[in-house]
Amino acid sequence: MKQGFKPKRETRWKTGPNKVSLTFRKNVLEAIQDEWPTYPSEIIKKLKMPGEKADLLLVKYNVDQLAKDGHIRVKKIDRATVCWPSHIEKKRYD
């Protein structure tokens, strides 16, 4: 190898918001709103994804981002992540 040579890394995820990720996040949010409470593995089945580990990580990442933005609530129960829409939480306290 030449000195100072850096191989290019292939990145699977693009940085920054792009059209595909926002559309996928919207699909995840719709899946949560259609049937709640739900788990990321159930979202994968509902979106008809193959169900590989990468798919689970992608859905989990989007669930975390939706929770960070305040669209959904997330609770860890043992090793499971349960999520539901935040407007349900508002109805509960009204």
Domain parsing of the chain, residue ranges: 19-93
Does the pTM surpass 0.85? The reply is no
* CATH level 2 (architecture), domain 19-93: Orthogonal Bundle (1.10)
Long-range contacts of 65-72 (CB under 8 A, 24+ apart): 65/25, 66/25, 66/28, 66/29, 66/32, 71/29, 72/29, 72/32
CA distances from 74 to 4, 11, 58, 83, 89 (A): 45, 28, 16, 4, 11
| 83 three-class SS | strand
Residue-wise pLDDT tens digits, 4-56: 555 454 444 444 455 557 888 999 999 999 998 999 999 999 988 887 888 88
d(CA 57, CA 36): 20
Q: Evaluate whether 82 touches 37 at the Cβ level (below 8 Å).
A: yes
